[in-house]
Amino acid sequence: MKKQIITLLVACLMGGTLFAQPAWFDDKDLTLTGTYYYPEHWNEKQWERDFKQMHELGFEFTHFAEFAWAQLEPEEGKYDFAWLDKAVALAAKYQLKVIMCTSTATPPVWLSRKYPEILIKHEDGTILDHGARQHASFASPLYRELSYKMIEKLAQHYGNDPRIIGWQLDNEPAVQFDYNPAAETAFRQFLRDKYHNHIEELNDAWGTAFWSEVYSSFDEITLPKTAQMFMNHHQILDYRRFAAKQTNDFLNEQCLLIKKHARNQWVTTNYIPNYAEGHIGGSPDLDFASYTRYMVYGDNEGIGRRGYRVGNPLRIAFANDFFRPVKGFYGVMELQPGQVNWGSINPQPLPGAVRLWLWSVFAGGSDFTCTYRYRQPLYGTEQYHYGIVNTDGTTVTPGGREFEQFMKEIKQLRTLAKARDVKPDDYMARHTAILFNHENAWSIERQKQNHTWNTMAHVEKYYRALKSFGAPVDIINESKDLAQYPVVIAPAYQMADKALVDRWTEYVKQGGNLILTCRTAQKDRYGRLPEAPFGSMISKLTGDEIEFYDLLLPEEPGKYVIDGKEYTWNTWGEILKPSKECRSWGKYIEEFYEGKTAISTRKLGKGSITYVGIDSTDGSLEKDVLRKLYTELNIPVMELPYGVTMEYRNGLGIVLNYSDKPYSFTLPAGAKAVIGTTDIPTAGVLVFSIQK
């Protein structure tokens, strides 16, 4: 309790985000590291040897039962936990705590044969079958019931066991676009509830007067065929909301069942960071959200000729900044230890890259990292997937050695650890939120107007600029309080309503600095255009009118000039008519609207509102506009090259180099390097302690 008060106090003093230290994790540990183990895959005689070596390498927890439903309930209603008890006891003998899983991603064959109605049906009619994983429908009430019976037994058995630290639900639960008849029934019910059993309300929301789409009863409604061109996109919007809710409800119900029996154990799941899928963070009773991340799988999103061995420099950073704000803390459930088996090409990571990713996860503030997996499998779909040890079960892989090094380094730093929110003032002064709602991406991507437009890429242009400034970023949803951030950016926030615009206005009047970008507040929450001038929902706030918008061919991009510097664009440009209180930044050239502007800014109350009605080709306009604004606002920014990032936590600064060149970092006054040197090689890491 005393400690919690101190943490809060420190957070206040440092101007940090006010999240109390979570009860399950201790700042003294900095972070914990663990690894997946599947006892059911291995000869029982090897378990002890494996846990001993796991412990000697430095792991502090392991992870069991993820896909073991067939072993846990070999016949309907007959449970066998004896083997798992033995594995838990042996792990404990080597000081390994356990994350327990609900194995709902892999129903046993008796279940699929006896109750085939639980199987997922694809839009083209294919029914999934036993023999892989993730083939059961979350919308099936029967599947849920059978899952809950198994989960409740597991929770009764392990919920009061101090060797179990927490629970992971399912595996990478995704939003299912499932055409199982149970999903159709549930969709109709979802619509009845949403539209108060009044079909006229639905007809109005979906604009069904268009093309004779009108319905006379909810029973006529089917799951929309997304493959069918021109399918009503208001309907698709509701279908996506419904589909995300199926996954979220299934997880939340699992979580509540476990919590009935669990003592001091957390519950989470391991989401794939598919941000626009729309379900992450949507199960309110989960204690926090964790993610899985793979960095090297054949795509070259890295820097330079061998960048594909290191990976995209912001891939982990964005996930950290998206998952942490969900509950204020997070963990990483799967981090690649070496080659994977499922990429287009599965190269070896660059020596040092695995450790770089571990430090990247740490830099975002995570409380733990778990790696998938300890042993390389000898059979099954993932035979070519690397582990911490290789196919002989004992030889440590290069990635395994990098985990070992990281765990040693963390243990060494524990003596220096300060409270998690000990961060420098100039860093916190540029704390920026990106307001994100996946529904905007759903809506825009369905009606792009320019096939070269990409909603996530638009958001990432702002994110990338912020990371080059060394700014801490929270990617948040509308449930969060905006007032805690000096700057909030809402990029391409297409669907809005009066309540949201009022909140934005209040935030600005009270001293916040809001940046809205093109395509914002142009539709209502059903995806309809208001009967008013285009984009006018925010014109009182921004002070602008939109005259029109233009979209260009990528091979014939347009030009925009700010302070004498030219930028190219083609995906979307709005032509604004700013009012007298606004200052405009830059103008279009070489078009019939030459001289007109896309960017305006003005003071309002104690704060400011900036509107950026254009999307540039390479993100340089977005970066320069942000820098200009932050300079006006006296917010100190850094100039880090792309590929280098810097974050703070626990009184430590962490600098990561994903670029193909060495980077020389200048330590802040009074800081001291504690891991690495200020000359940071490719895939290198520098950790320094700050004076505070």
Q: State the helix-helix crossing angle for 315-327 and 455-468, rounded to 10 degrees.
A: 90
Number of alpha helices (DSSP H) and beta strands (DSSP E) in the chain: 18, 26
Check binding of 35 to ligand GAL (CB under 6 A): no
Whole-number minimum distance, CB 370 to ligand GAL, in Å?
11
The residues, any chain, with a CB within 8 Å of residue 512's CB and separated by 6 or more, are 482, 483, 485, 486, 487, 488, 607
Q: Which of 77, 153, 154, 152 is nearest to 111 (CA)?
A: 77
Antiparallel, parallel or unpaired: β 599-604 and 583-584: antiparallel
The secondary structure element, H or E, covering residue 293 is: strand 289-293
Check binding of 240 to ligand GAL (CB under 6 A): no
- In terms of Cβ atoms closer than 10 Å to its own Cβ (0-12, 13-18, 19+), residue 262 is buried
User: Is the preceding peptide bond at 373 cis, omega within 30 degrees of 0?
Assistant: yes
Rank residues 270 and 689 by Cβ distance to ligand GAL and give the closer one. Answer: 270
Whole-number minimum distance, CB 91 to ligand GAL, in Å?
20
Provide the residue type at 639 as one letter: E
Q: State the helix-helix crossing angle for 620-632 and 455-468, rounded to 10 degrees.
A: 50
Check binding of 397 to ligand GAL (CB under 6 A): no
Hey, what are 256's tokens? Answer: 């509540």
Spatial distance between the Cα atoms of 300 and 306, rounded to a whole number of angstroms: 8
Rank residues 337 and 558 by Cβ distance to ligand GAL and give the closer one. Answer: 337
Check binding of 99 to ligand GAL (CB under 6 A): no
The residues, any chain, with a CB within 8 Å of residue 355's CB and separated by 6 or more, are 402, 403, 405, 406, 683, 685
Whole-number minimum distance, CB 105 to ligand GAL, in Å?
8
Antiparallel, parallel or unpaired: β 672-675 and 685-689: antiparallel
Whole-number minimum distance, CB 177 to ligand GAL, in Å?
18
Check binding of 334 to ligand GAL (CB under 6 A): yes
Rank residues 385 and 467 by Cβ distance to ligand GAL and give the closer one. Answer: 385
Whole-number minimum distance, CB 522 to ligand GAL, in Å?
36
Spatial distance between the Cα atoms of 66 and 54, rounded to a whole number of angstroms: 19
Check binding of 299 to ligand GAL (CB under 6 A): no
Rank residues 79 and 294 by Cβ distance to ligand GAL and give the closer one. Answer: 294
Secondary structure letter of residue 528 according to DSSP: P
Hey, what are 187's tokens? Answer: 């969709």
Check binding of 40 to ligand GAL (CB under 6 A): no
Check binding of 375 to ligand GAL (CB under 6 A): no
Exactly one of 63, 279, 385, 438 binds ligand GAL (CB under 6 A); which one? 385
Whole-number minimum distance, CB 292 to ligand GAL, in Å?
5
Exactly one of 271, 372, 549, 585 binds ligand GAL (CB under 6 A); which one? 372
Check binding of 340 to ligand GAL (CB under 6 A): yes
Hey, what are 415's tokens? Answer: 């003596």
Binding residues for ligand GAL restricted to 493-532, rule: CB under 6 A: none
Secondary structure letter of residue 681 according to DSSP: P
Whole-number minimum distance, CB 410 to ligand GAL, in Å?
24
Spatial distance between the Cα atoms of 539 and 314, rounded to a whole number of angstroms: 34
Rank residues 333 and 598 by Cβ distance to ligand GAL and give the closer one. Answer: 333
Exactly one of 7, 102, 292, 682 binds ligand GAL (CB under 6 A); which one? 292
Check binding of 314 to ligand GAL (CB under 6 A): no
The residues, any chain, with a CB within 8 Å of residue 528's CB and separated by 6 or more, are 205, 207, 234
Rank residues 278 and 387 by Cβ distance to ligand GAL and give the closer one. Answer: 387
Whole-number minimum distance, CB 385 to ligand GAL, in Å?
6
Whole-number minimum distance, CB 168 to ligand GAL, in Å?
10
Whole-number minimum distance, CB 257 to ligand GAL, in Å?
22
Check binding of 33 to ligand GAL (CB under 6 A): no
Antiparallel, parallel or unpaired: β 565-578 and 607-612: unpaired
Exactly one of 102, 171, 246, 339 binds ligand GAL (CB under 6 A); which one? 171
Beta-strand ranges (E) seen in 494-578 are 513-517, 544-550, 558-562, 565-578
Binding track over 575-594 against ligand GAL, x by CB under 6 A = --------------------
Binding range to ligand GAL, per CB under 6 A, among 89-97, 157-165, 334-342, 489-497: 334-342
Q: How far is CA 398 from CA 54, 204, 340, 355, 387, in A?
A: 15, 60, 14, 10, 10
In contact, 387 and 338? CB cutoff 8 Å: yes
Binding track over 248-287 against ligand GAL, x by CB under 6 A = ----------------------------------------
Binding residues for ligand GAL restricted to 341-370, rule: CB under 6 A: 342
Beta bridge partners of 371: 35, 335
Rank residues 294 and 642 by Cβ distance to ligand GAL and give the closer one. Answer: 294
Check binding of 574 to ligand GAL (CB under 6 A): no
Cα distance from N-terminal residue to C-terminal residue, the chain: 23
Whole-number minimum distance, CB 5 to ligand GAL, in Å?
38
Check binding of 290 to ligand GAL (CB under 6 A): no
Rank residues 73 and 334 by Cβ distance to ligand GAL and give the closer one. Answer: 334
Whole-number minimum distance, CB 364 to ligand GAL, in Å?
20
Check binding of 235 to ligand GAL (CB under 6 A): no
Q: Nearest-CB residue to ligand GAL?
A: 172
Check binding of 144 to ligand GAL (CB under 6 A): no
Check binding of 288 to ligand GAL (CB under 6 A): no
* Site size with ligand GAL, rule: CB under 6 A: 10
DSSP string, 227-273: TSTT--HHHHHHHHHHHHHHHHHHHHHHHHHHHHH-SS-EEEEEE--
Dihedral angle sign, alpha carbons of residues 410, 413, 415, 418? negative
Rank residues 134 and 477 by Cβ distance to ligand GAL and give the closer one. Answer: 134
Check binding of 172 to ligand GAL (CB under 6 A): yes
Residues of this chain that bind ligand GAL (CB under 6 A): 171-172, 292, 294, 334, 340, 342, 372, 382, 385
